[in-house]
Amino acid sequence: MWNYSEKVVDHFLHPRNVGEIPDPDGIGEVGSLACGDMLRLTFKLGPDGKIADARFKTFGCASAIASSSALTEIIKGMTLEEAAAVTNRDIAKYLGGLPEEKMHCSVMGREALEAAIAWSRGERTEPYRLEGEVVCKCYGVTQKEIERVCAENNLTTLEEVTHYTKAGGGCGLCHDRIREIISGSAQKEQKPAGGDELTNVQRIHMIEDLLEKRIRPALRQDGGDIELVEVDRNVVTVKLKGACATCPSSSITMRQFIEKELTKSVAGDIRVEEARH
C-alpha cells in the first residue's frame, strides 16, 4: 500500500479546479487511456498576462488526480515564463512528497503544462505529439523524456526511470536501451561537476539561470525567496528573503536543497554561504 501524505489525500478526495475552460488560452493533453494515465490541462490568461484560471481532466490513479489538482493551484497567478520553470519536483514538493513509484504522475503534470504553454504561444497546433526516438513502446516514452527526467531528478537506475516515466514497466524489451541512456546522461552530468572547464562568468550565468528556473520558484511556494549576492570561484553567497530569512530550517535549505542543486547542475565543488548583512 502506498504511503501518501495528507495533502495528496486531500487533493485526491477534494480535487481543485476540475473541468475544462471554454475558449482557453492554453491546452495541454498528454498520456493515453492505453497507458493508464491521461491528463488534459487548460488555462486562461488574465489582462495582466498571468494565468487567471486553470482546470484539468484526468484519468488515472490517486496520485495522478492529486498531482493534476496541485498543478492547477501552483500555476495560478504565474506568468507563462514563471509557469515554464515549474518542474515535476515542484509538484511533488507542493503535495508533501509522492511515493517513488508514483513520481511519473508529477512528470505527466509537467508535460501537460509545457504542452499547454507551447499551444498558447502558437508553437503547437495539436495538444501533444511524441518527439524523437520512442524507447518504451508500451508507454510511449521517448529518449528525450528519459534524458530530461534523469537530469532533473538525478536518476541513476532503471527502477527509478520506471517510477518517474513508466518506461520499462511493460514488456521489458527496452531495459537495455534505458540503461544506455542512463549511462549517457550520467557522463553528461560529470562534465560540469568538475568545474575546471567553466570560466567564472560561465558559472555565474549558470547559477543565475538555475536560481531563476528551479530554486526561486520552489522557495516562493513556501513564501520565501533568494537573492544572489556574490560568486567567488567555488563560493556562492546568497541572501534568503521572505519566510526563508526567518525560518529555523534555513541552514537545511541552504545545504540540502540550494547547494545540492548547484553542485549537481553547475559544479561539484560549489559551497553555498548565506550573506550576514
User: Considering only CA atoms, which of 54, 28, 58 is closest in space to residue 120?
Assistant: 28
CB 226 within 8 A of CB 240: yes
- Per the CB < 8 A criterion, the answer to whether 173 and 188 are in contact is no
Burial letters 26-63, b for 16+ CB under 10 A, else e: bbbbbbeeebebbbbbbbbbeeeeebebbbbebebbbb
What type of residue is 2?
W
Cell representation of residue 81 = 515564463
Is 247 an active-site residue?
A: no
- Residue that is written with C-alpha cell 487567471 in the block: 52
Q: Which of 35, 136, 174, 244 is catalytic?
A: 35
| DSSP states along 68-119 | HHHHHHHHTT-BHHHHHT--HHHHHHHTT---GGGHHHHHHHHHHHHHHHHH
105 is catalytic: yes
Look-up of cell digits 489538482: 69
Q: Which residues are catalytic?
A: 35, 105
